[in-house]
Amino acid sequence: MGQAAEKLRFTREEYLEWDARQVERHEYVNGEVFLLAGARRGHAVIAGNIFAELHSQLKGKPCRPYMADMKLQVDAADAFFYPDVMVTCDERDAKADMYLEHPSLIIEVLSDSTAAYDLGQKFEYYRLIPELLEYVVIEPERQRIYLYRKNEAGEWLLSDVRAGAPVLFATVGCSISREDIFEGVAVPHEA
């Protein structure tokens, strides 16, 4: 999750005003602010590859991808996050300036320091977004992809995307090959 900021408690308004003046990115959860650690090269490459592919495939369509510098507000959790990649097709987000609120797809690239949080508490917060239908978690070290998709009953189902299979982001009508996602990232050594 990162380290807490020097000031221990913020209101949403104080956080937004303060965060706009910061060089580093900070996430906000229920009054507490946490500094985000810098990403490793593989993390940045994977997020960039996904964003580039989504941007290319969504060109001319109503959905729009965003990278890690765009904030996401999860109102029901009193939180602001910086997902690695998110896509929104909601007209309300097209008018947003400082943060989005209605993504249908969120993608997080795991790091050692955030893996448990991204798979646990953060995913719990993300599930409070009514429009969110797909959550994708990518494990760079093992080149594993886990896709959580919400079904019509509101249940989240996990699909483990196997080697050789493309990743289908059904919510936004895009598909990306594993090779394109991991292009430029070293293949892990088999033990």
pLDDT in tens, 32-55: 998 887 678 888 999 999 999 999
Q: Give the confidence band of 183 by pLDDT, cuts at 50, 70, 90.
A: very high
Nearest CA to 179 out of 49, 69, 80, 24 is that of 49
pLDDT for 115 equals: 78
Locate the domains of the chain by residue range: 40-181
Query: Pick from 31, 36, 3, 39: which is nearest to 15 by CA?
Result: 31
Chain segment 98-116, per-residue pLDDT in tens: 999 999 999 999 887 777 7
Work out the mean pLDDT of the chain and round it to a whole number. Answer: 90
Task: List the alpha helices (DSSP H) in the chain.
Answer: 12-19, 41-58, 91-94, 115-119, 121-126, 178-181
**pLDDT for res 90:** 96
Contact, 9 vs 31, CB < 8 A? yes
Domain 40-181 has CATH 3.40.50.150: no
Model pLDDT, residue 120? 83
pTM of the model: 0.91
Contacts of 129-132 spanning 24+ positions with Cβ under 8 A: 129/74, 129/76, 129/101, 129/102, 129/103, 130/102, 131/88, 131/90, 131/102, 131/103, 131/104, 132/103, 132/104, 132/105, 132/106
Asked if 102 contacts 92 with a C-beta cutoff of 8 angstroms, the reply is yes
- The tokens for 123 are 């995913």
What mean pLDDT do residues 141-167 have? 91
Model confidence pLDDT, tens digit, residues 121-151: 899 999 999 999 999 999 998 899 999 999 9
